[in-house]
Every structure is written in structure tokens, then in C-alpha cells.
Amino acid sequence: AQSVTQLDSHVSVSEGTPVLLRCNYSSSYSPSLFWYVQHPNKGLQLLLKYTSAATLVKGINGFEAEFKKSETSFHLTKPSAHMSDAAEYFCVVRKGGGNKLTFGTGTQLKVEL
Amino acid sequence: GAVVSQHPSWVICKSGTSVKIECRSLDFQATTMFWYRQFPKQSLMLMATSNEGSKATYEQGVEKDKFLINHASLTLSTLTVTSAHPEDSSFYICSARDQESLGYEQYFGPGTRLTVT
């Protein structure tokens, strides 16, 4: 079975400083990994995905993530936080090309002036 | 981009009544749609997988007679919460898989907040 662990339930950064949201995964198979963002009372928006191609994945809004098999990690980063980045972020794993997505518990990102 | 809508966005109903939530893929066809439930401050839990023209597949612990799913067309799936009770109050989110997408992409709807009084 696959799972993801988001190491921080809350992260607070100042506007203009780097963002790091941590995610570790566990999977018996070659996984597909995703990061989604959810703004209050809104659905989920895909930020980026890893599907066994390049290990450094670039997504929307300046976010990127690096797949590190040796560390079983898929941390999300952004060089400079913006106020609009404040939201809930979910790390998600999918086994191969299957349907089922397994969500992490989420990280609430707060961006302060 | 692919858009998924849900209706209603929020609903309040009395205990014992039934509520239907619609999930539509607006610009693509989806043979497979998914229903998730999200409790406050928690993650999404998959409830069931909805397949067009066939019965839904429910996750362990989800009552199929309570959460009725119908996927009558390639763009519409419905979730009916029957005989709703306050513990059914939650945020229900659907997603739809673009059958033309090689990456099996799932696109999420904006969610429906159900409050049972």
C-alpha cells in the first residue's frame, strides 16, 4: 500500500522568503506523486506532478518539487512566497497508472507581511 | 483546461431527508469520477469510484445504501446522501478523470458543503 506523510501541519513564512513544504512517501511500486493546493472553500488545483520522468518537476505559480528516491521525499519549494500562496497544500501519491489517490494530511501555509 | 463543476456549492437539510449532489465535467468526457469526503481540518478520503454505465465501487467502511452514486452519462455523476444525519455533515468533493489524458489526470470540483441539522 502507498502512503504519504506531510511532516508539517502548519508552515508560516514572510512574503518574499522561500517556501519549503515537506512530504515523504511510501510505495511498493514506482509511484506517481502530486502536489495540490486548496484555497478556502474551493476545490483542489494541481500544482505539479511526478510520473517517472525528470526528477525535478516545475509546476504552476513558481512552485517546484524534487523526487528523491533515496530519501523517499517529494518536497515542494518556491523561491519567494506571495500572499496569494496562503492555502492548504496536499501531497498525493498514486500507485502507477491506477485510479486511487492517497492524500497526505495537508500543510497549511501562512504568508505574513 | 479541464473544468469540473459541482452543484450545489452548499446545502442545508434536515435530518432524515435526502440530498443529491451533482458533479459535471464541463469540457471533457469522464468514464470515471470519484467522490471524496473531507472533514474540517482533515485530508480527503476517497468514498467511491463512479464508473459510467456500471455500479460504483465503494471504499471499505462506506455504506453504499446510504451514499447512492449514479453515473448516467460521460459528463455527470450524482451522489445522493439518503436519510441524512448530522454526522453526514461534511465537505464533499468530486473529481473526474479525463479519459483522453495519458496521465490519468483527475480534475477536482469546487466541493459541496453539506450541513445536516
Inter-chain CB proximity B111 and A42 less than 8 Å: yes
Concatenate the DSSP letters of all residues of A39-92 into one string: -TT--EEEEEEESSS-SEEE-GGG-EEEEETTTTEEEEEESS--GGG-EEEEEE
Q: Which residue of A has its CA nearest to B93?
A: A43
Residue in B104, B106, B109 nearest the CB of A97? B104
Q: Which residues of B touch chain A, with CB atoms under 8 Å apart?
A: 4, 6, 32, 34, 42-46, 49, 93, 95, 97, 103-111, 113
* Over residues B45-68, mean pLDDT: 92
Taking a contact as any Cβ pair under 8 Å apart, which residues of chain A between 54 and 113 contact chain B?
Answer: 90, 94, 97-101, 103-106
How far is the CA of B59 from the CAs of B48, B50, B63, B64, B102, in angstroms? Answer: 6, 11, 9, 9, 25
Cell of A60: 504552476
pLDDT score for A40: 81
CA angle A79, A81, A82 (to 5 degrees): 140
Report the pLDDT averaged over residues B15-22. Answer: 97
d(CA A16, CA A84): 12
- Cβ separation of A105 and B104 shorter than 8 Å? no
For residue range B21-45, list pLDDT tens digits in order: 999 999 888 889 999 999 887 888 9
Q: Give the whole-angstrom CA distance, residue B105 versus residue B29.
A: 12
Cell 478556502, located at residue = A40
CA distance readout (Å), B5 to A106, B25, B68, B109: 23, 6, 19, 5
Tell me: pLDDT of A98 over 80.
no
